[in-house]
Amino acid sequence: MPRKTSDKPNQLVFLALGGIGEIGMNLYLYGVGPPHRRQWLMVDLGVTFAGPAEPGIDLIFPDIRFIEEQRDNLAGIVLTHAHEDHFGAVMSLWPRLRAPLYATPFSAALLRAKLIEEGKEGEIPIEEIPVRAKLDIGPFHIELVDMAHSIPESNGLLIRTDAGTVFHTSDWKLDPTPVVGAATDEARLRKIGKDKLDALICDSTNAMRPGHSPSEADVAKTLSSIIANAPHRVAVTTFASNVARLRSAMDAATAADRHIVIVGRAMKRVVQVAEETGYLPPDYDLLTEDDFGHLPREKVMALCTGSQGEGRAALARIAARGHPRVTFARGDIVLFSSRTIPGNEKAVGRVQNQLADQKIEVVTDADALIHVSGHPRRGELEKLYSWLTPETVVPMHGEARHLEAHAKLAKDLGAKTVVRARNGSLVRLCPGPAAIVDEAPAGRVYLDGALPVLPGEGPVEERKRLSYGGAVAVSLVLSSKGDIVADPQSTMIGIPAATAQGIPFGEVVAGAAQGALNGIPRPRRRDSALVAEAVRRAVRAEVKQHWGKKPPCSVMVTVI
């Protein structure tokens, strides 16, 4: 492809604003052109999920300030597939970008369904493109390549520009029998390698694991055997988006003459979209939660949301005996047909323990082959490298240890240059040599209710402090001359009732506040800020002396 003439040669650059150094929150940018007037292509716009370290936060978004400031140069956004960590931020962040959004039919349908659920139908225009599409987005010539994964229509992107050619794998594995959707297109990948590939941006999730991942077809056989031989009810929980797993469970239930009950909103949404797009046949006899209680125990197979222990998901409510229509009993079996995402171990363990306490059998992938990863192990990476023979490799989609294992493997497999990038690293891919040439602002934004909050700002940090040491609020009323009009009043949250000597903490706080006031000369009490700070320090010190902790303390001074 001829190179355009300009005052400076075109460059093809790569920048992750999320997804490198972590698993989740994927947002990748490709830029082409001279440094002062690049055009950008965004690949994916995902979320990650908050944990105990972010109290009160459900979702975490990438910080998009860098590309938002250049949105006039953002040619488009391509979604590789419909996992939340790749497209979950679209509803919240697209209005700040307003660039053309491209997705294949299944991803587009799932995004539309989410918009309808949130009352935002039609607010985001979606350019639906066919699988294996070829399209031009600004200066980027893009071809979608089938890559097997744990969701239909996961696409690798071949991106050609005047400056060079890069292949972005997204999430993938080698699975000749994926149950639903296309297998990874080996023939096309081999052809791409023969045509010369400048750079490969590649999934690192399982780069530490040897061999090859088992196939979805192997999981289907195990599910079929367990469901056929179960004496009572069987429940299967998995990622709702794993349509292949849903189909395997449904086929097993049908073969065992069991009714299929769909439990959970996300599961219902995915099943409906999968039927509409042809990935699930419409002839399954699917029942709802309202039917569950009327069915014989030995004739039920329930598909439930909640494989990650989410408190509001169906399985957590069932395990806690809080679901209004679905209950399990002694001897029933629950299959956790999923992996536990790092950080969710306690939540998943809590649900599993609640089920075990009720003598419900819990089966995980440690007990039987009921889950396989959607990401490539080392043997699969070796095959991909032999097909593509890339000159430059940038490992992505992994934590630091995964990225480093992938980097070493890529070097062993013949890559001339391996760039160890992180979120915010601006990588020049070509013309070579490939290297990190600059840094861009990158980070996280918490969704606090309906409001965006930066890490380190007040609300989340204050909640952390509250979780460790409770809180004390003190109210003081003074006259305009500095006289104490009434005894100090206090409110305490998360503070013990009394000291080890049996003194109520209310008295401890009141005494500290009174002592601090007595120590301030009357004329200086007219300074409300001085009074508040003196009382705050005194209360915290006194509580620490009796309790060993210094809780946050707020003081309100009223002058009458």
Residue with tokens 């299929």: 260
- Helices 243-255 + 216-229 axis angle, to 10: 30
Q: Tens of pLDDT along 134-170?
A: 999 999 999 999 999 999 999 999 999 999 999 999 9
Tell me whether strands 11-18 and 155-160 are parallel, antiparallel or unpaired: unpaired
Compute the mean pLDDT over every residue in the chain, rounded to the nearest whole number: 94
With H, G, I as helix, E, B as strand and everything else as coil, classify residue 97.
coil
Which tokens is 84 given?
């939340």
- CB count within 10 Å of CB 36 equals 7
Q: Report d(CA 91, CA 423) in Å as an integer.
A: 22
Confidence class of residue 5 from pLDDT cuts 50, 70 and 90?
Answer: very low
Predicted local confidence at residue 454, as pLDDT: 83
Query: CB under 8 Å to 340, separation ≥6 — which residues?
Result: 308, 309, 348
Residue 275 has pLDDT above 90, yes or no: yes
Which helix (H) or strand (E) segment holds residue 402: the answer is helix 400-412
- CB count within 10 Å of CB 412 equals 10
Residue 534 has pLDDT above 50, yes or no: yes
Tell me whether strands 39-43 and 27-33 are parallel, antiparallel or unpaired: antiparallel
Q: Tens of pLDDT along 359-386?
A: 999 999 999 999 999 999 999 999 999 9
For residue 337, which amino acid is it?
Answer: S
Confidence class of residue 448 from pLDDT cuts 50, 70 and 90?
Answer: confident
* Residues 106-129, mean pLDDT to the nearest whole number: 96
Counting residues of the chain whose pLDDT is more than 70, the rounded percentage is 98
Rounded to whole angstroms, what are the CA distances from 555 to 78, 510, 540, 558? Answer: 52, 12, 11, 10
Residue with tokens 């040897």: 210
For residue 279, which amino acid is it?
Answer: Y
Which tokens is 345 given?
């171990």
For residue 303, which amino acid is it?
Answer: L
Q: Report d(CA 66, CA 69) in Å as an integer.
A: 6
Peptide bond into 431 cis (omega under 30): yes
Which helix (H) or strand (E) segment holds residue 42: the answer is strand 39-43
Q: Tens of pLDDT along 336-364?
A: 999 998 778 999 999 999 999 999 999 99
Q: Report d(CA 253, CA 224) in Å as an integer.
A: 7
Confidence class of residue 299 from pLDDT cuts 50, 70 and 90?
Answer: very high
Predicted local confidence at residue 265, as pLDDT: 94
Which tokens is 453 given?
């909050």
Yes or no: say if 197 and 165 are a contact pair by the CB < 8 Å rule: yes
Predicted local confidence at residue 8, as pLDDT: 59
Yes or no: say if 57 and 446 are a contact pair by the CB < 8 Å rule: yes
Predicted local confidence at residue 403, as pLDDT: 98
Yes or no: say if 169 and 147 are a contact pair by the CB < 8 Å rule: yes
Which tokens is 21 given?
């150094």
Confidence class of residue 3 from pLDDT cuts 50, 70 and 90?
Answer: very low
Predicted local confidence at residue 6, as pLDDT: 43
Confidence class of residue 452 from pLDDT cuts 50, 70 and 90?
Answer: confident
Confidence class of residue 4 from pLDDT cuts 50, 70 and 90?
Answer: very low
For residue 164, which amino acid is it?
Answer: G
Confidence class of residue 543 from pLDDT cuts 50, 70 and 90?
Answer: very high
Task: Give the DSSP letter string of 281-332.
Answer: -TTS-EE-HHHHTTS-GGGEEEEES-TT--TTSHHHHHHTT--SS----TT-
Which helix (H) or strand (E) segment holds residue 188: the answer is helix 186-194
Confidence class of residue 319 from pLDDT cuts 50, 70 and 90?
Answer: very high
Q: Report d(CA 32, CA 41) in Å as an integer.
A: 9
With H, G, I as helix, E, B as strand and everything else as coil, classify residue 472.
strand
Confidence class of residue 54 from pLDDT cuts 50, 70 and 90?
Answer: confident
Yes or no: say if 405 and 205 are a contact pair by the CB < 8 Å rule: no
Q: Tens of pLDDT along 79-114?
A: 999 999 999 999 999 999 999 999 999 999 999 999
Give me the domains of the chain, ranges plus CATH numbers.
11-211+373-448 (3.60.15.10), 216-363 (3.40.50.10710), 458-559 (3.10.20.580)
